[in-house]
Amino acid sequence: MNNVYLSHNNIVSAYGFDSASAIDSIKNEVSGLSLVNDSNILPNPFYSSLIAQDSLSEAFQKLDPKEAYTRLEQILLVSLSDTIKKSGLELTDRVGLILSTTKGNIDVLETENPFDESRAYLAELGQKIEDFFGFKNEALVLSNACVSGVLALAVAKRFIRQKRYDHVFVVAGDLVSEFILSGFNSFQALSEAPCKPYCKTRSGINIGEVGCSILVTKDDNNLVDKSVRLIGEASCNDANHISGPSRTGEGLYRSIVSAMNQAKIDADAIDYISAHGTATLFNDEMEAIAFNRANLQDVPLNSLKGYFGHTLGASGLLETIIGMHSLYSNTLYASLGFDELGVSQPLNIIKETTSKESSIFLKTASGFGGCNTAAIFQKVNS
Amino acid sequence: MNRSDYHIKSYCRIRDGKISKDGELLFSDASEEFPAFIKAAYKYFETDYSKFFKMDNLSKLAFMGAEVLLRGNDEENTALILSNRASSLDTDRKHQAAISNPKGGFASPAVFVYTLPNICMGEISIRHKLYSENSFFIFAEFNPHLLSDYTNDLLETGKANEVLCGWVDYDKNKYDAFLYVIGKKGLLAHNTEELTKLYRTK
For the segment B179-196, what is each residue's pLDDT rounded down to a tens digit? Answer: 999 999 998 999 999 999
Residue A182 with chain B: CB contacts under 8 Å? 95, 99, 107, 112
Task: Check residue B5 and give its pLDDT.
Answer: 86
Q: Tell me which chain B residues have a C-beta less than 8 angstroms from the C-beta of A141.
A: 137-139
In terms of domains, do A175 and A244 share one? no
Tally Cβ neighbours within 10 Å of residue B198.
18
How far is it, in rounded angstroms, from Cα A199 to Cα A351? 11
Is the residue at A190 inside a domain? yes
Asked if the structure places residue A121 within a domain, the reply is: yes
Put simply, the answer to whether B92 touches A370 (Cβ < 8 Å) is: no
Helices (H), chain A: 19-27, 53-61, 71-87, 122-133, 148-161, 178-186, 250-263, 281-293, 305-308, 315-328
Would the CA dihedral through B169, B173, B174, B179 be positive or negative?
positive
Q: What is the mean pLDDT of residues B117-129?
A: 98
pLDDT computed for residue B28 by the predictor = 98
Domain that holds residue A332: 228-379
Residues 306-325 of A with CB under 8 A from B: none
Q: A324 lies in a domain? A: yes
- Tell me if A368 and B85 make a contact (CB, 8 A cut-off): no
> Cβ–Cβ of B92/A120 closer than 8 Å?
yes
Structurally, chain A folds into a number of domains equal to 2
Kindly state whether residues A200 and A263 are assigned to the same domain.
no
Torsion of CA A335, A340, A342, A344, to 10 degrees: 110
Angle formed at CA A301 by CA A144 and CA A379, multiple of 5 degrees? 80
Residues B109-114, mean pLDDT to the nearest whole number? 97
Do A363 and A211 contact (CB within 8 A), yes or no? no
ipTM over 0.90: yes
* Rounded CA separation B179/B116 (Å): 19
Instruction: Identify the pLDDT of residue A376.
Output: 98
pLDDT at B3: 57
Q: Tell me, what's the pLDDT at A47?
A: 98
A251 and A203 share one domain: no
Shared domain for A206 and A246, answered yes or no, is: no
Structural domain contains residue A13: yes
Contacts of B137 in chain A (CB under 8 A): 140-143
Alpha-carbon distance of B111 to A12, in angstroms, equals: 31
State chain B's mean pLDDT as an integer: 95
Of B122, B149, B154, the CB nearest to A369: B122
In A188-318, the DSSP E strands lie at: 210-217, 228-235, 272-274, 300-302
User: Both A212 and A234 in a single domain?
Assistant: no
Q: Considering just the CA atoms, what is the radius of gyration of chain B in Å?
A: 17
Q: Is A242 among the domain residues?
A: yes
- Cβ contacts of A254 on chain B, cutoff 8 Å: 131
- What's the pLDDT score for residue A270? 98
A205 and A71, same domain (yes or no): yes
Look at residues A183, A217, A251 and tell me which one is the last residue of a structural domain: A217
The pLDDT score that the predictor gives to residue B73 is 87
In a domain, A223, yes or no: no
The CATH number of residue A257's host domain is 3.40.47.10
- The closest of B146, B83, B144 to A96, measured between CA atoms, is B146
Distance in angstroms (rounded) separating the CA atoms of residues B132 and A239: 9
Q: Are residues A193 and A277 in the same domain?
A: no
Q: Which of A162, A186, A217 is the last residue of a domain?
A: A217
My answer on whether A250 and A359 are in the same domain is yes
End-to-end CA distance of chain A: 18
Largest CA distance in chain A: 55
What is the CB neighbour count within 10 angstroms for residue A167? 22
Query: Is A361 in contact with A272 (CB distance < 8 Å)?
Result: yes
- Tell me which chain B residue has its CA closest to the CA of residue A107: B96
Q: Which of B99, B138, B149 sits opposite A141 (nearest CB)?
A: B138
CA distance B34 to chain A (A): 21
Q: Does residue A248 lie within any of the structural domains? A: yes
pLDDT value of position A1: 52
**What does the DSSP 8-state code read for residue A356?**
-
Contact between B121 and A236 using a beta-carbon 8 Å cutoff: no
Nearest neighbour of B138 by CB, restricted to A122, A251, A368: A122
Confidence label for B166 from pLDDT (cuts 50, 70 and 90): very high
Task: Count CB-CB contacts under 10 A for residue A111.
Answer: 7
A165 and A255 co-located in one domain: no
| Residue pair B132/B78 in contact by the 8 Å Cβ criterion | yes
Min Cα separation B72/chain A (Å): 18
Q: Please report the pLDDT score of residue B1 as a whole number.
A: 40
d(CA A361, CA A341): 22
Neighbours of B119 (CB within 10 A): 27
Query: Do residue A30 and residue A69 come from a single domain?
Result: yes
Residue A222 lies in a domain: no
Q: What is the pLDDT along chain A (382 residues), one digit of tens a residue?
A: 569 999 999 999 999 999 999 999 999 999 999 999 999 899 999 999 999 999 999 999 999 999 999 999 999 999 999 999 999 999 999 999 999 999 999 999 999 999 999 999 999 999 999 999 999 999 999 999 999 999 999 999 999 999 999 999 999 999 999 999 999 999 999 999 999 999 999 999 999 999 999 999 999 999 999 999 999 999 999 999 999 999 999 999 999 999 999 999 999 999 999 999 999 999 999 999 999 999 999 999 999 999 999 999 999 999 999 999 999 999 999 999 999 999 999 999 999 999 999 999 999 999 999 999 999 999 997 5
Same domain, A185 and A111: yes
**What's the pLDDT at B202?**
67
> Of the candidates A217, A242, A269, which is a domain's last residue?
A217
- Whether A248 contacts chain B with CB within 8 A: no
Shared-domain flag, residues A205 and A241: no
